[in-house]
Structure formats: structure tokens, C-alpha cells
Amino acid sequence: MKTSELAYTGTYTAWSREGIVSEVKQQMKTSRFEHVLRVEQCAVRLAEKYGASAEACSLAALLHDYAKEHDVEEMKGIILREGMDPELVHFGSEIMHGPVGAYYAEKKFGITDEEILNAIRQHTIGGIEMSLIGKIIFVADYIEAGRTFKGVEEARELAGKNLDEAAYYKIEKTIIHLVKKEVPIYPGTIYVYNSWIQRKAGK
């Protein structure tokens, strides 16, 4: 289905899709906004394939990077005030924008559905437990049509067969990427990796 034809039913937010699109557009540079639209496109396709709500996936996708370009000090303030993991503030916008994006999804857009909020919250590092919507957003962010990194084709193939394997692929490759880049790894990223690898070994 074309995302532009998706009419929201009011189940998850009182906002229209068009209203959210124009609000999101104002928050970020054009290239990122275009990424967001491609994530939505990909998420809706995965929703159709795996039997999730296209509306919920569209909404989570449109809002997943809402806070990415927000002022870092403002994000830190929200994290500490709202009682989120205080460790987050040491890892910059890269790690903070998911949890802070979920905050805006709830406060500004009136979303209360925990699956959608968690999908936004967890989209960068994944989660020990992820719902179907959570996995879809996590994977769609990684494989959307504009991504060109080495390995993206393999990730796309996995996503066409098994969403868990695609999610695990992103978790594993992200850790390798971060080590190679010599950047600090947020403890939550390690927890997620450990839980997925233990589950995999237990199979």
C-alpha cells in the first residue's frame, strides 16, 4: 500500500497522518525527513508481510527520529526529569533520541499504545523483549531503500524471511561497527546483545 493513502482511524492518535508528516518535517533536515518517509514505506511493507497494524507501524516510523536533531541539553533535561536511565545522557543524541522521541510521541501526539512507544524508544539499540512492531521499526530503520552500507543486502534478504534473524543481524553488526569505530557502547546495547545471543545459543 502507498503510505500517502494510509488514512489514520484515530485508534492511536487524534492527529492525521498529514499533520504528523508536516510536524516531523519541521524538526529535521530534508535528508533525514526523507529517510523517515522511507522507513515508513518499509515498515508498512513489513507490517503487511508479518501481519502487524500498518497504521501503528506508519506512526512509529514517522516519529522514530523525531528528536534526533533536538538540542542535546534539552534532551538531557527530559531524560533526568522523566526518570529515564541517567546513563543515557553520556551517549549523545545518537542514543538519547529514541527515548526522547517516545516522550514526544506520548506528550505531543497523545500516543498511549506501549507497543508504539517502545518501538520508538528501542529503535536504535533494540530491546531484550521486542514486540512485532518494535522489530519492524528496528529492522526498517536499518534496511530502508536509502541505506547503502556493506551488508544491507543480506539484512534485506533476512528481513524477507525471518524478522528475528534480521533484528539479530542489526544487533550484531552494530556492535562490531561501534568497536571498529572506537566509540563508547551504551550499556543497554550490550544487554540487548547478550540477551539475543543467549536466546540464540539456547535454541
The site for ligand GDP (CB under 6 A) is made up of 35, 65, 68, 91, 94-95, 123-125, 141, 174, 177-178, 183-186, 189
Residue 16 has, within 13 A of its CA and on its CB side, a CA count of 6
Min dist. Cβ of residue 203 to Fe ion (A): 29
Contact partner at residue 160 from ligand GDP, Fe ion, none, CB < 5 to 8 Å by partner kind:
none
DSSP state of 106: H
Counting Cβ atoms within 10 Å, is residue 5 exposed (0-12), middle (13-18) or buried (19+)? exposed
Min dist. Cβ of residue 141 to Fe ion (A): 4
SS percent in the chain: helix, strand, coil, step 5: 70, 0, 30
Closest to ligand GDP by CB, 91 vs 109, is 91
Contact partner at residue 91 from Fe ion, ligand GDP, none, CB < 5 to 8 Å by partner kind:
ligand GDP
Min dist. Cβ of residue 9 to Fe ion (A): 25
Closest CA to 20 of 134, 124, 116, 87: 116
Min dist. Cβ of residue 175 to ligand GDP (A): 8
Min dist. Cβ of residue 136 to Fe ion (A): 13
Interface residues with Fe ion (CB under 5 A) are 65, 141
Going by C-beta distance under 8 Å and a sequence separation of 6 or more, which residues neighbour residue 11? Answer: 55
Quote the CA–CA distance of 97 and 65 in Å, as a whole number: 7
Contact partner at residue 15 from ligand GDP, Fe ion, none, CB < 5 to 8 Å by partner kind:
none
Residue 69 has, within 13 A of its CA and on its CB side, a CA count of 10
Contact partner at residue 95 from ligand GDP, Fe ion, none, CB < 5 to 8 Å by partner kind:
ligand GDP
